[in-house]
């Protein structure tokens, strides 16, 4: 019998092990992930090369960016006086870039480091659809013109799939160009202060904020910071799992918008739960009614809210719409309805009785509301 010497045998075993590793699903995904990372890195480098190569206004289109012609405006900047503000979307990745060109067409400032380009984290492709608003004014009171920006985005999947939503941002001017304060941009969007340029100004320049609506821990704090209680719907109710709670609907007015919230407060004045029925609407137009009763038939009292809201659609028209929210009581709090919402849309004529009847019908209750 022929004997294979030890070095050759070890080499053959190593090859077999390597083949087994490369053939395994885990190895495939590791290699695939590495390939994807390399591809993304190459795509990013190609994109940066195109962006960095833009030196004049005439280069923008040739570099693969689509100029938004109706959003080109004059702006005064410290470095060269009057310049042209030129926004453009990258045709391949839908990233928004801002360019400032002097009177000779030379680019004196450019950036794509914007809040709206972070909607799809870790990806070049973004969800930008169009510019909703641009404003040029001094927002931090240093005598220099700053830029307020709102864009419309639409996700392809997941949250907000197929729905427009707004992203706000501010670029502050300094001696070398412009800069962003990421903390300000984060708060503008996290606390829904991106509804209009007027609202952004109210926050950045005038120091009003909706943040307390989401972070307050007591009813006293809400009142102290400006929550207006809607007294006709302000009651104390007994909830099976949470005990006796004060139901406090209210709104906070900021830059012509009324932000609607509902708080559940215990006997010590502490907030134990909060609800935001208006969702992504811009403004509470009118509260039509609230109900506290068992809606899904589990023996526990739920909360239903019917209201009219206003919002600006994707072409800038103000729309008023009636909508509802239902919150089912659970062991540890409340859960917002999504099932009925997908099936039943109310109209301007819908009453609370209509809403409860439809909800009871969905959950298999008899056709009555008593």
Q: What is the pLDDT of residues 99-136, one digit of tens each?
A: 999 999 999 999 999 999 999 988 899 999 999 999 99
Q: What is the pLDDT of residues 287-328, one digit of tens each?
A: 999 999 999 999 999 999 999 999 988 777 899 999 999 999
Q: What is the pLDDT of residue 29?
A: 47
Upper half-sphere CA count for residue 288 (Cβ side, 13 Å): 23
| 3 state SS of 233 | helix
Upper half-sphere CA count for residue 114 (Cβ side, 13 Å): 29
- Token pair in block for residue 329: 């009581």
Residues β-bridged to residue 109? 100
Name, in order, each residue with C-beta under 8 angstroms of 309's C-beta and a sequence gap of 6 or more: 260, 278, 281, 282, 283, 284, 285, 320, 321, 322, 323
Residue with the larger pLDDT of the pair 309 and 367: 309
Q: What is the pLDDT of residue 365?
A: 84
- E-state strands within the chain: 65-67, 73-77, 81-90, 96-101, 107-111, 128-137, 146-154, 164-173, 178-179, 228-229, 235-239, 243-254, 257-265, 271-275, 283-293, 302-312, 318-330, 333-336
pLDDT at 2 over 80: no
Angle between helices 25-52 and 6-23 (to 10 degrees): 70
- Token pair in block for residue 36: 């994807």
- The Cα diameter of the chain in Å comes to 99
Q: Which pairing describes strands 164-173 and 178-179: parallel, antiparallel, or unpaired?
A: antiparallel
Q: What is the pLDDT of residue 95?
A: 97
Return d(Cα 106, Cα 240) in angstroms, integer: 68
C-alpha to C-alpha distances, 61 to 57, 98, 362, nearest whole angstrom: 8, 13, 54
Return d(Cα 261, Cα 42) in angstroms, integer: 47
Q: Look up the pTM and report it.
A: 0.83
23 — alpha (psi -120 to 50), left (phi > 0) or beta?
A: alpha
What average pLDDT score do residues 231-243 get? 94
18 — alpha (psi -120 to 50), left (phi > 0) or beta?
A: alpha
Q: Which pairing describes strands 164-173 and 146-154: parallel, antiparallel, or unpaired?
A: antiparallel
Residue with the larger pLDDT of the pair 38 and 56: 56
Residues β-bridged to residue 74? 84
Q: In this structure, how many other beta carbons lie within 10 angstroms of the beta carbon of residue 188?
A: 26
pLDDT at 34 over 80: no
What average pLDDT score do residues 358-367 get? 87
Long-range contacts formed by 97-101: CB under 8 A, 24+ apart: 97/51, 97/65, 98/147, 98/149, 98/171, 99/54, 99/57, 99/60, 100/75, 100/177, 101/56, 101/57
* 75-112 core/surface letters (b: 16 or more CB in 10 A; e: else): bebeeeeebbbbbbbbeebbbbbbbbbbeeeebebbbb
List % helix, strand, coil for the chain (3-state, nearest 5): 30, 35, 35
Return d(Cα 65, Cα 135) in angstroms, integer: 22
Residue with the larger pLDDT of the pair 32 and 20: 32
User: Average per-residue pLDDT in the chain?
Assistant: 90
Q: Which pairing describes strands 243-254 and 235-239: parallel, antiparallel, or unpaired?
A: antiparallel
Residues β-bridged to residue 246? 236, 265
């Amino acid at each position: 019998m022929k004997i294979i010497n030890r070095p050759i045998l070890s080499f053959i075993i190593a090859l077999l092990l390597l083949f087994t590793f490369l053939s395994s699903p885990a190895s495939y995904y590791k290699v695939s992930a590495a390939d994807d990372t390399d591809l993304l890195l190459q795509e990013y480098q190609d994109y940066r090369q195109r962006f960095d190569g833009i030196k004049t206004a005439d280069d923008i289109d040739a570099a693969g960016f689509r100029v938004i012609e109706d959003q080109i405006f004059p702006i005064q900047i410290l470095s060269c006086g009057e310049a042209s503000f030129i926004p453009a979307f990258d045709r391949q990745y839908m990233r928004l870039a801002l360019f400032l060109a002097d009177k000779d067409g030379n680019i004196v400032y450019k950036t794509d480091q914007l809040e709206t380009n972070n909607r799809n984290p870790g990806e070049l492709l973004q969800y930008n659809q169009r510019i909703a608003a641009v404003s040029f004014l001094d927002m931090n009171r240093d005598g220099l013109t700053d830029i307020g920006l709102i864009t419309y985005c639409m996700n392809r999947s997941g949250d907000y799939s197929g729905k427009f939503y707004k992203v706000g941002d501010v670029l502050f001017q300094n001696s070398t160009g412009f800069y962003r304060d990421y903390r300000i941009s984060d708060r503008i969007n996290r606390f829904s202060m991106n509804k209009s340029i007027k609202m952004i100004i109210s926050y950045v320049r005038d120091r009003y904020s909706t943040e307390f609506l989401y972070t307050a821990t007591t009813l006293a704090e809400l009142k102290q910071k400006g929550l207006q209680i809607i007294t006709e719907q302000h009651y104390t109710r007994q909830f099976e799992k949470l005990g006796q709670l004060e139901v406090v609907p209210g709104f906070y007015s900021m830059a012509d918008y009324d932000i609607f919230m509902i708080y559940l407060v215990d006997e010590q004045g502490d907030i134990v739960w909060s609800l935001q029925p208006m969702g992504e609407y811009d403004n509470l137009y009118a509260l039509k009614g609230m109900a506290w009763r068992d809606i899904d038939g589990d023996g526990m009292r739920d909360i239903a809210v019917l209201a009219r809201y206003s919002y600006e659609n994707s072409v800038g028209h103000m729309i008023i719409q009636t909508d509802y929210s239902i919150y089912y009581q659970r062991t540890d709090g409340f859960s917002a309805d999504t099932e009925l919402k997908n099936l039943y849309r109310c109209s301007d004529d819908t009453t609370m009785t209509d809403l409860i009847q439809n909800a009871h019908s969905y959950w298999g209750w008899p056709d009555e509301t008593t």
